[in-house]
Amino acid sequence: MQSNWSFAGGWCLVSGGTSGIGLAVAEECLRLGAKVCVLGRDGQRLEQALDHLSTLGTVEGLRADVSTEDGRKPLKAWLADREGLAALVNNVGTNIRKPALDYTDAEIRRLLDTNLLSALALCRLCHPQLKQAGGAVVQVSSVAGLTHLRTGVIYAMTKAAMNQMSRNLACEWAADGIRVNTVAPWYIETPLAMTVLRDERYLREVLARTPMRRIGQPEEVARAVAFLALPAASYITGQCLAVDGGFSVYGF
By annotation, the residues acting in catalysis are 155
d(CA 63, CA 55): 20
Q: Is the dihedral of CA 32, 37, 39, 45 positive or negative?
A: positive
d(CA 242, CA 252): 19
What element of type H or E holds 166? helix 153-173
- Phi first, then psi: give them for residue 136, nearest 5 degrees: -130, 150
- Measured from the Cβ of residue 170, the count of other Cβ atoms closer than 10 Å reads 19
